[in-house]
Structure 1
Amino acid sequence: MLIGAHTKIAAILRQDSNALEAIVSLHPAFEKLRNPFLRKLMAARTSVGTAAAIAGVPLEAFLSKLHSIGFDIESSPPLENEDPAQLPAFLNGIQKDALSTLDVRPVLASGADPLTAITRTIKTMKPGEILRIINTFYPEPLIQLLTSQGYESWSETIHTTQVDCYFRKPLIEKESAPAQEDNNFDEMQLKYQHQLLRIDVRNLPMPQPMITILETLNSLPEGSALLVLHKRIPVFLLPELRIRNFEFRTRQMDDGSIQLIIFKDVQPQ
């Protein structure tokens, strides 16, 4: 396979499974590629040139490492032509320092969920206004959620621990689908009582709760359900569950936490 600065990491990993270890060996920042969920989020949208720049690895060293396991190297144009530098129309002519900015890194560092701060900020935005959210990772669930509500978005990876995401509030907002809260939760719990896997993600730091839930669902036996103990309704998770054709029911507990049953509508054995 012929590769260069603009080749997506996902294409390289699909071509040769040995490429994962080769890339990880270049810098500790690439260790996160071992996680299947994060690998899916990152690899499809990140090029060799971008990955090398983020980690501070010389492009020549990155390509040389891949060449050593059988990839052919092409001549690449200068990296200033890389796609991430191309701003979308809604950001053209707008100064970044004039945008509203919400830095959720301190919230994430404390182990808390930044959803409350994000939701509060978004509610104060006027139609057409733009918000920059500074994160520590590419927040695909947030992007999917806001995009489904009509927001325009664009993201820029600054370095290994900073991803800036820009959201433009639509002139007319779409209504998001409500969570299926308290909707025959007890009935579903009884239905799957003998095939109910239980996990507790209440004490996991972000974004581990969502990663853990999705990874568990990947290996969930047919006809079984997953009971999740969570601090709150995971609104970023819900669109992903719908995409994967899972149903869910939620129940709020006296202490404010949430129990969530996730299942596919298959009769238990």
Structure 2
Amino acid sequence: MENKNDIIISPKTKVMQLIETWPQLEDVLIDYVPAFSKLKNPVLRKTVAKIATLQQAATIGNVKVEDLINRLRKEVGQDLLKETEHGGYNTARLWWVNEQKIYKEMDARKMLAAGEHPVTQVMADLKQLPAGMVYKLYAPFLPAPLIDKATSLSFEHWVNEISEAEFEVYFYKS
């Protein structure tokens, strides 16, 4: 574990690093972003918390990243963050979202309920996705790290929030 004095809480801080360094911040994070109560699930804690950043946590919780960072920094006595740019995710329906273009679908909810993590399967599926086609993912939370990974590989995405615990994420390969 790193020295607390060496870590400055930022949008790029991993959730796991945060709660390992300051265990008391887990409850603060959950209070501020209730969706992160799922961190109590050991499978999600081992997987999602290791790769999710605080910026992604803010997006999942639909809160401003600087507000979340400042709340956490205040708890541990760090200087407050100034206004930052928020990347966000595509939530406005895009031209390529078309049910007829769906090449493959996957329900991550079933895998997560079985204690499995779907990232490897989704990434393998995306690599097989033909150009001009769509991959549809069902998830019980906004899979921000997965979206970031797919975006880094030049996939476009659209997030359709059905409810607080139900998301459809569409990926498109141009």
TM-score (norm 2): 0.54
Measure how far apart 1:261 and its partner are: 0.9
Out of 51, 60, 75, the residue aligned to residue 141 of structure 1 is 51
| d(CA) in 2 for partners of 1:207, 1:170 | 39
Out of 135, 146, 159, the residue aligned to residue 226 of structure 1 is 135
Counterpart residue identity of residue 26, structure 2: L
> 3-state SS of the aligned residue for 1:117?
helix
Q: Could you tell me which residue of structure 1 aligns to residue 37 of structure 2?
A: 117
> 3-state SS of the aligned residue for 1:208?
coil
Could you list the per-position Cα deviations for residues 65-124 of structure 1 after superposition, in whole angstroms to 9, with x for gaps in the alignment? xxxxxxxxxxxxxxxxxxxx7647525xxxx89752539xxxxxxxxxx952389xxxxx
Counterpart residue identity of residue 224, structure 1: M
Q: Count residues with an aligned counterpart.
A: 135
> 3-state SS of the aligned residue for 1:236?
helix
Out of 152, 156, 174, the residue aligned to residue 243 of structure 1 is 152
Larger RCO, structure (CA 8 Å, separation 6 or more): 2
Uncovered stretches (5+) of structure 1, i.e. residues with no partner: 1-84, 104-113, 120-134, 152-166
Q: Could you tell me which residue of structure 1 aligns to residue 30 of structure 2?
A: none
Alignment of 1:1-269 (within 5 A): 87=3, 89-90=5-6, 100-102=24-26, 115-117=35-37, 135-137=45-47, 139-143=49-53, 145=55, 171-172=80-81, 174-184=84-94, 187-190=95-98, 193-194=100-101, 196-205=103-112, 208-253=117-162, 257-264=166-173, 266=174
CA contact under 8 A between 1:145 and 1:239: conserved in structure 2? no
TM-score (norm 1): 0.38
- Which has a greater percent of helix? 2
Q: Which has the larger radius of gyration?
A: 1
Counterpart residue identity of residue 235, structure 1: A
| d(CA) in 2 for partners of 1:138, 1:177 | 19
Uncovered stretches (5+) of structure 2, i.e. residues with no partner: 8-19, 28-33, 40-44, 57-64, 70-75
CA RMSD, aligned part only? 4.3
| d(CA) in 2 for partners of 1:234, 1:170 | 30
